[in-house]
Structure 1
């Protein structure tokens, strides 16, 4: 078979490939919430990722350390990044291109790699620690629930459960089916979010209750001494982190938004379709924001009202035991088992979203440096599947080597905060150079985008300076 024939076979393809924008793929956008609901989904995968390590580990740890004083930071952290998320997704829907492809267009470059993607590489390396902490936290919860070969925290039990968690992730997600990933994300988010929010709202009726004065004290825009590091890591992790801002674009494409808009031909019909599907994406982002904001607040309130008064701060492999005190001290010892099941669900939801999301980003990075062809459907899927196998193994090995889930998650959070700087620059560059002005957001949205961008840049600069010791 000739080279041209092979190429034709690889591309022909996929009439169903969402990364191939063709006139045949065009679909009229739905109007109103009722008709848009079945087209929501990328934000639910995002919520599965967000309502996980950031909330269960970083946000609860922050509440345990600082009490209610940083409640304002939790709200700010979840709200401030949404406009940037939406603007990057707007570019993706109008071009059909995922985030790392766009990042690589921002000058300057070092060889084939743009500076923002070099920052992404650094973040990806730090995320080995963070997601390793998630694998470890999940394994520890399983080990406490059903220890294998001795003590729950023995090397044998933790190692076996880490292997089981990593192996199960590979087996369940190897197909990389979008519909499977979306359905699993929805189930995992629902299981733990509802229970956690109900318990948080019920705390005022227990010995660990909080009142209006506690809430007001947490809205004074102050950071207590000793809580700065945890606050910075929390800002990087909770809400939409830089990695989640990035992988949201892949799920928007795979849900079909860009394909339904069709190739950008500059016509008024294209503009109308683009604005219609961007409106659907707005709804998707709003639902996602509501889910992870309430989940984040619930975790923080539990940490501040139950753990902080007792001086309990999650550390090392005792993290799961310490966090379970939120439930056992509130509802009784029987709730410990329920918490462990819930912890597995919430940490598992992050892992469920992380494996396919990071596999796509790694594959996309290889494409921007010329190793694979992103538009070649078979090559792209083959590479994504290779990373689906490799990443859980690497993350599990990182946990077994370090065995400190809280430290590992916070380390990834700091680098995520720094990478946000590059994401903001990319969003404005792509908006100016490649996004049709006719599909820009309205005046209010643009004002919010400016405020969000400035806030992210200032906190990103602070994070970077803090890492290098300027505030010590």
Structure 2
């Protein structure tokens, strides 16, 4: 049995259920990187989600629009949110509770639901567009590779492939086994990310080369005219967004971190185990940060170096063919098939992580308002599987209605930036009220958490003012 698989509990929901903390589930934490490696996993699922729509679509589009000028935003956006992600996961590991359960504790409340979860519902609705854009991106890539009924960008071929992508995702993920999701994420994200990084750093040896001067020009903390909207969306969607910060907690539980810590009996032994497994989570989060940071930089550089000089910006259903120019213009037309396969892998990795993650979050939301018992593993699995079927169908339908993957992804990115503000509020509330002080991070981490919180808060406030045209001079 893969560690932390959903639905492995016996009827009633306790035995082997990672969301139930029992003395029988306690395990001593490993020490050092080598011994910790086999306990990594949540961060790899996170990387599969991140190295996808944000990087291939939003980051590349920003590079195509603005060139190297805002390279600094790419770096900041991947770094600044990690401390908030870790702090929320710290609370989860010490309590065994997932994010939406914690969000619902933050006052004020409207009956059974807290204001943060109300805002989460609004974000989830905007994500219908964003993840619909991902479904559409995969469908378009398949359609260009294997057109059905003539024009690869015609409605008939894209419709058929959208149905196939949604149906195939449901079939592959219906079991919702943690081990399957983790292994699939690693496979999908690994090869294409490596190849993309290799190409990006090899561009100086092609006609689309760039130099140290180009990179330095992107570190001047400036935003060119006309690129502000794309920059805000990219900040919200690249690196760990509000949705990734949220669902990371579910994977930390299902990997087993909280169960291995055991129930909080107030003892020093419990605190020692908790610190040990939190340290494993630190390493897991750091590895995922390295993966998605280099992936993000690679996609941005390719957009800035290859697409921007030619005035090419990914738009509409032509997004995939425009993005393929990053490869065909540097390596030749022979690479176009490889790019399409890679695009399917990188966008598919986001879809692979998104379906089970959002299924868990929606199920948890229903539990917080009393519509189901989250602690009953059998009931929980039934609802998770129901959402595994429903969500890909809804996302696919949203894409077929809008058919503009870039805009769809950017809309979701803006709303993600707004919800990040609420996540920061939750993290500090739960830190003050429910995290054992013996588990707090050190001085350096706490300083980073403050900086991250301030940066995210400023982004959220700016985005809200921008949406309602309340900025000076707007």
Q: What is the distance in 1 between the residues matched to 2:206 and 2:31? A: 45
Correspondence for 1:69:
69
What SS does structure 2 have at the residue aligned with 1:153? coil
Q: Once the two structures are superposed, what CA deviation does each residue of 1:405-440 show, in whole Å capped at 9, x if it has no partner?
A: 000000000000000000000000000000000000
Q: What is the distance in 1 between the residues matched to 2:331 and 2:193? A: 17
Q: Report the Cα offset of residue 154 of structure 1.
A: 1.0
Q: What is the distance in 1 between the residues matched to 2:268 and 2:228? A: 50
Correspondence for 1:266:
266
Distance 1:9 1:354, change over 3 A: closer
Correspondence for 1:165:
165
Answer with 459-468 or 133-142: which moved more: 459-468
What SS does structure 2 have at the residue aligned with 1:372? coil
Distance 1:91 1:144, change over 3 A: same
Q: Once the two structures are superposed, what CA deviation does each residue of 1:372-406 show, in whole Å capped at 9, x if it has no partner?
A: 01001111000000000000000000000110000
Q: Report the Cα offset of residue 9 of structure 1.
A: 7.0
What SS does structure 1 have at the residue aligned with 2:333? coil
Correspondence for 2:151:
151
Q: Once the two structures are superposed, what CA deviation does each residue of 1:86-123 show, in whole Å capped at 9, x if it has no partner?
A: 00000000000000000000000111111110110000
Contact 2:209 2:305 in 1 (8 A): yes
Correspondence for 2:227:
227
5 Å matches for 1:36-115?
Answer: 36-115=36-115
Answer with 461-470 or 72-81: which moved more: 461-470
Contact 2:14 2:376 in 1 (8 A): no
Q: What is the distance in 1 between the residues matched to 2:109 and 2:213? A: 52
Q: What is the distance in 1 between the residues matched to 2:390 and 2:133? A: 16
Q: What is the distance in 1 between the residues matched to 2:454 and 2:10? A: 47
Correspondence for 2:5:
none
Q: Report the Cα offset of residue 15 of structure 1.
A: 1.3
Correspondence for 1:376:
376
Q: Report the Cα offset of residue 445 of structure 1.
A: 0.2
Correspondence for 1:327:
327
Q: Report the Cα offset of residue 150 of structure 1.
A: 0.9
Distance 1:9 1:173, change over 3 A: closer
Correspondence for 2:4:
none
What SS does structure 2 have at the residue aligned with 1:210? coil
Q: Once the two structures are superposed, what CA deviation does each residue of 1:205-262 show, in whole Å capped at 9, x if it has no partner?
A: 0010110000000000011110000000000100000000000000000000000000
Runs of 4+ aligned residues of structure 1 deviating over 2 Å after TM superposition are: 8-11
Correspondence for 1:282:
282
Q: Report the Cα offset of residue 469 of structure 1.
A: 1.7
Aligned length: 464
Correspondence for 2:393:
393
Q: Report the Cα offset of residue 14 of structure 1.
A: 3.5
5 Å matches for 1:304-343?
Answer: 304-343=304-343
Matched, 1:213 2:213: yes
What SS does structure 1 have at the residue aligned with 2:406? helix
Q: Once the two structures are superposed, what CA deviation does each residue of 1:277-316 show, in whole Å capped at 9, x if it has no partner?
A: 0000000000000000000000000000000000000000
Correspondence for 1:123:
123
Q: Report the Cα offset of residue 191 of structure 1.
A: 1.8
Correspondence for 2:416:
416
Q: Once the two structures are superposed, what CA deviation does each residue of 1:100-150 show, in whole Å capped at 9, x if it has no partner?
A: 000000000111111110110000000000000000000000000000011
Matched, 1:243 2:246: no
TM-score of the superposed pair, with normalisation by structure 2: 0.97
Q: What is the distance in 1 between the residues matched to 2:187 and 2:58? A: 23
Q: What is the distance in 1 between the residues matched to 2:349 and 2:144? A: 19
Correspondence for 1:20:
20
Q: Report the Cα offset of residue 155 of structure 1.
A: 1.0
Q: Report the Cα offset of residue 10 of structure 1.
A: 3.6
Q: What is the distance in 2 between the residues matched to 1:62 and 1:195? A: 21
Q: Once the two structures are superposed, what CA deviation does each residue of 1:5-48 show, in whole Å capped at 9, x if it has no partner?
A: xxx9743x441100000000000000001110000000000000
Correspondence for 1:4:
none
What SS does structure 2 have at the residue aligned with 1:334? helix
What SS does structure 2 have at the residue aligned with 1:360? helix
What SS does structure 1 have at the residue aligned with 2:188? helix
Q: Over aligned residue pairs, what C-alpha RMSD do you find?
A: 0.8
Q: Once the two structures are superposed, what CA deviation does each residue of 1:297-338 show, in whole Å capped at 9, x if it has no partner?
A: 000000000000000000000000100000000000011111
Correspondence for 1:358:
358
Correspondence for 2:434:
434
Contact 2:421 2:460 in 1 (8 A): yes
Q: What is the distance in 2 between the residues matched to 1:28 and 1:188? A: 31
Q: Report the Cα offset of residue 470 of structure 1.
A: 2.4
